Structure formats: C-alpha cells, structure tokens
C-alpha cells in the first residue's frame, strides 16, 4: 500500500502525471474550482475595462511583438551588451547552462556571503529551477516575501498561477495557515488583517537579513539595468535593504534600450492584474554607491531556452513577458486550475513552454490540454500565436509516438492510415462510402440514429449519438438530378 496522496500536487514535469489525470483532483473539488473561477473573473473584468479604454492597444501589441522578436533574433549581441554594461556598473554576471548550474552558482554566492538566511522576491524562474528546496537542503533558510508566496510557503502549497500564485487558496484557508504557522490564534479571515499579519511577520526579516534573491522583468542591454515590477513593496525591500542582491533571469528577458520599457510597462500591468500600472516598478544599474546593495550578481539562465530559439516556429514562445493573460482567458485553465499542468508554468503558455523546456522528453500531454479556441493568442500582449505552437508540438508528440515499436498496430494509427488511403482518391472514397452505408445499416435504428457502435467505435457512441448515413450522398443526388433534367 502506498501512503502517497493520489491528489498530491507535483509541479515537476519529470514526475507529474499526464494532464487529464492531474486535472481530476481539481475537477472533483468544488471549493477549489470556485476559488479559481472567482479570481479569474475579477482579473478578467478589470483587464477588459482597462484594455478597452486604451485606444492604441493593438498598435502597442504590434510594437511589443516586433520588439521581442527583434531581441530574440539578435539575442547574442544584446546579452553581451547587457553583460558589458552591467559589469561596468559594478554588477557581476554569471551564465548558467541549466538549472543545476544556476542552483550551484547561487549557493556558492550565498556561501561566500556566509548567508544561512535569504529573503526572496517572487520569481517564477527560481521555481523553474527548484531553487528553494535545494537551498533548504543545503542549510539556507529561504523566506519568500510576496504575500501569495508566503501563503504557499507556510501552507506547503504549490503555485497555480504565475502572477497570483495562491489564487486557488481562499481567505479562510489563508487564515488557517497564518494562524498555525505564525502562532496567531485570534486572527480573523479579513484580508486586511491577514495582509497586516504578513507585514508584521516580514518586517524584521527585511531589516535584518542581508542577502536577497529576485528575478527580472527586463534586462536593459543599453544600460545594464534591471527592472522589476511588483505591487506590495516587498520587492523594493529586497532590492534596497540587503547588502547583497542576486538576480536570476532567463536569457530571453533582455530588451535593447531603456525607453523600450514604455512598450512593456503599458502592456504588462493591464494584462496581468487589470491595473493601469502596477504600484511599484524598480530599476537599478549595477551597484550605486550609497544606495541599495553594494554587491550585485546576475545569473543568466539558459536551461533549454537556446534550443527553443533554434526552432523557427517555436521561437515565439520566448517573447513571453509572463503576464498570465493567456491563462486568465483560457477555458481549460478556468476548469482545471494551474496544478493540472504539472509545471510551475501553467495555462496556455505553460502548455507550450514546459514541454519545450523539457526538450519534448516530458509533459507531452500539455500541448493537447487546449481546445485551440485561440483566446490566448487574442489577449497575448506580445502576440504569441500559442495555438500555432500547440499544433506544432502536437505533431511532434504524435511523431514521437509513431516511432515507438508496436505503434504500427495501434487502432487509431491504423485507422488514420486507412483513412489517408481512402481519402486520397475519389473512386476509393465513393466505394468506401457505399460500403460504409451498407455496414452502417446494421447499427442504424428506426429513428435514423446510431446509438451504439462496437469495438473502437464505442468510444464515440459512449457519449454521443451518430446520425445514420443518408441513402444518397450529394454527388449521387447531383448526378441523378442532371439525368432527370435531360
């Protein structure tokens, strides 16, 4: 007997169950579905209003899309430029080929600082490389400082969204977690009181822990500066108070110039949280004497990104600015929430990014976790054609499966090969139709419908009826009509 909870959330694509299976716990949990739907309705409502008031929304999207494409086409030059300018400004730039290297670079830096505690700004990239468990295992206490991340960390929960990672947890669950972990028995479930509890819990940590880890929304090649957007001020605390700051960023995060932020910033907050602007944006350049951390490290992470870059149809995945508009718009995400994706990147962007980061060796069910309705493409501020990439990845997954031994006798494969043969010639097609009509007669009831088919066909008729084939098809009807006219 295994004691492992079958509903346990696993966000490591190497071990997570396939999407349809991982979605079941959420689909069985009405409270969770209610929490997810409520959060998404609120964000979507706000986003819709603010996007509608922006008359130049589509031209901004076009500008952002072209800007991000341009960066990716010239990524090597912009990265080198960023490195040069950041270094000149007193920063130290590190390059990490994969997650393991990034983790060990960061641990080495912490050891040099004798840091056994670290405060953290929310960064999905650190979740991607599973930094926290690694640091904890190596004796470093990690304190997340974003409210949602505290909820997850103290509640031993997993993130289910990239902007509001605790959207699946409601206020009474937060109350329970905080009361238990902060020792506050009389805490109410008023969000204001809960937020205050987090403020108090973190204040001393901000003031005393001298090392911070964060991410980046943009790396600016022209200046070597880094920009971080946030709401709570926890980011500013981590970027300002510590002696040492370590920034972890994917190599795709570069933008050419400072004023390119005018494009990104106008799109990001509106898309992410439905605000005209997020409360705080911080920008800093290397080390500024007398203001903020006097030691600054940037870890540039590849971890599969350069191989995505090499594939022309898939490259657009890297344009992403992590706003989460795609998951908020997605009818599948709305039903399943984020955990079903078995990755720290859920939703449509996760469905294309995760399998690619895994070099198509894991998470192959994700490209199929979509109705291809295109809502994600429509809202994407940098115009990533997610359905196009989904289709491309689906075909790769199918080709992978086809290569597996034994696939040649797979009923679906066999059926499709036969269909391919029949549909390729008019004579064959008509003959098949005549045969089919005779065969279908066996199963068609008096009402003209097929209610159940045997064997593989049952998979269809289990959940729906099939209309019986008409006695005459269009071609036959047309030919007969012309004959009569003569």
Partner 1 sequence: MNTSSRQGILERVRSATGAAAPARIAEAYAALPRDYVRQGTMTHEACLDRMIERLREYDAEVVETAPEQLLAAIGAQLEASGKRVFVAPEGLPSEWLIPGFDWKVDRGLATAEIEAADGVVTAAFCGIADSGTIALHHSPAEGRRVLTLLPDWHLCVLRASQVVETLPEYFSRCPQPPALATYISGPSATADIEMTRIKGVHGPRFLHVLLVHDDSIF
Nearer to partner 1 among residue 247 and residue 282 (C-beta) = 282
Of 22, 23, 26, 72, the one binding partner 1 (CB under 8 A) is 72
Q: Are 135 and 118 in contact (CB under 8 A)?
A: yes
Question: How many residues belong to the site for partner 1 (CB under 8 A)?
Answer: 98
Write each residue from 302 to 341 as x if it is in contact with partner 1 (CB under 8 A), else as -, in one continuous string. x---xx-xx----x--------------------------
Nearer to partner 1 among residue 220 and residue 323 (C-beta) = 220
Which pairing describes strands 225-230 and 295-301: parallel, antiparallel, or unpaired?
Answer: unpaired
Binding of partner 1 by 147 (CB under 8 A)? yes
List binders of partner 1 among 421-450 (CB under 8 A): none
Binding of partner 1 by 94 (CB under 8 A)? yes
List binders of partner 1 among 267-296 (CB under 8 A): 273, 275-286, 288, 290-292
Of 12, 56, 84, 401, the one binding partner 1 (CB under 8 A) is 56
CB of 227 to partner 1, least distance (A): 9
Nearer to partner 1 among residue 12 and residue 262 (C-beta) = 262
Structural Rg of the chain based on CA atoms: 27
List binders of partner 1 among 222-251 (CB under 8 A): 222-223, 225, 231-234, 236-237, 239-241, 251
Binding of partner 1 by 398 (CB under 8 A)? no
CB of 350 to partner 1, least distance (A): 20
Residue 132, SS3 per DSSP: helix
Binding of partner 1 by 136 (CB under 8 A)? no
Binding of partner 1 by 158 (CB under 8 A)? no
Q: How far apart are the first and last CA of the chain?
A: 78
Binding of partner 1 by 300 (CB under 8 A)? yes
CB of 326 to partner 1, least distance (A): 18
Q: Measuring CA to CA, how many Å separate 61 from each of 362, 376, 378? A: 32, 14, 10
104's enclosing H/E stretch is helix 99-112
Nearest Cα to 286, choosing from 80, 81, 87?
A: 87
Contacts of 217 (CB under 8 A, 6+ apart): 227, 228, 229, 253, 264, 268, 321, 322
For the CA atoms of 34, 40, 45, 50, the dihedral, rounded to the nearest 10 degrees, stands at 160
Binding of partner 1 by 258 (CB under 8 A)? yes
Contacts of 358 (CB under 8 A, 6+ apart): 13, 14, 304
CB of 174 to partner 1, least distance (A): 6
Give the C-alpha separation, 270 to 427, whole Å. Answer: 56
Contacts of 371 (CB under 8 A, 6+ apart): 331, 332
List binders of partner 1 among 167-226 (CB under 8 A): 167, 170-171, 174, 191-192, 194-195, 198-199, 202-203, 206-207, 220, 222-223, 225
């Amino acid at each position: 007997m295994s004691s492992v909870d079958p509903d346990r959330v696993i966000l490591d694509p190497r071990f997570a169950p396939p999407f349809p299976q991982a979605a079941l716990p959420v689909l069985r949990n009405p409270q969770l579905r209610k929490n997810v739907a409520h959060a998404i309705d609120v964000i979507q409502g706000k986003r819709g209003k603010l996007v509608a008031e922006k008359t130049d929304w589509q031209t901004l999207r076009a500008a952002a899309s072209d800007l991000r494409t341009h960066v990716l086409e010239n990524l090597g030059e912009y990265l080198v430029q960023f490195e040069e300018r950041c270094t000149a400004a007193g920063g130290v730039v590190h390059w990490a080929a994969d997650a393991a290297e990034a983790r060990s670079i960061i641990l080495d830096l912490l050891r040099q600082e004798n840091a056994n505690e670290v405060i953290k700004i929310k960064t999905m990239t650190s979740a991607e490389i599973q930094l926290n468990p690694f640091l904890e295992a190596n004796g470093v206490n990690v304190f997340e400082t974003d409210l949602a991340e505290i909820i997850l960390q103290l509640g031993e929960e997993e993130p289910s969204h990239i902007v509001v990672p605790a959207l699946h947890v409601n206020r009474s669950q937060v109350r329970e977690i905080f009361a238990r972990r902060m020792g506050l028995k009389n805490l109410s479930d008023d969000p204001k009181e809960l937020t205050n509890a987090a403020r108090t819990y973190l204040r001393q940590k901000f003031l005393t822990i001298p090392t911070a880890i964060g991410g980046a929304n943009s790396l600016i090649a022209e200046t070597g500066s880094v920009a971080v957007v946030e709401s709570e001020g926890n980011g500013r605390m981590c970027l300002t108070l510590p002696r040492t700051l370590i920034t972890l960023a994917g190599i795709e995060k570069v933008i050419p110039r400072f004023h390119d932020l005018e494009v990104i910033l106008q799109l990001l907050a509106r898309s992410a949280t439905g605000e005209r602007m997020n409360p705080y944006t911080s920008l800093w350049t290397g080390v500024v004497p007398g203001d903020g951390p006097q030691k600054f490290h940037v870890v540039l992470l590849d971890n599969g990104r350069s191989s995505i870059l090499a594939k022309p149809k898939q490259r657009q995945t890297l344009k992403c600015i992590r706003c989460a508009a795609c998951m908020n718009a997605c009818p599948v995400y709305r039903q399943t929430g984020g955990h079903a994706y078995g990755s720290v990147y859920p939703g449509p962007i996760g469905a294309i990014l995760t399998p690619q980061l895994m070099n198509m060796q894991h998470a192959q069910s994700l490209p199929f976790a979509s109705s291809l309705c295109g809502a994600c493409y429509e809202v994407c501020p940098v115009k990533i054609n997610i359905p196009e990439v989904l289709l491309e990845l689906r075909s790769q997954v199918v080709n992978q499966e086809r290569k597996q031994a034994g696939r040649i006798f797979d009923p679906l494969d066999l059926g499709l090969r036969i269909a391919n043969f029949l549909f390729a010639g008019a004579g064959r097609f008509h003959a098949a139709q005549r045969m089919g009509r005779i065969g279908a007669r066996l199963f068609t009831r008096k009402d003209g419908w097929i209610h159940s088919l045997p064997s593989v066909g049952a998979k269809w008729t289990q959940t729906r009826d099939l209309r019986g084939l008409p006695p005459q098809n269009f071609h036959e009807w047309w030919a007969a009509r012309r004959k009569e006219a003569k």
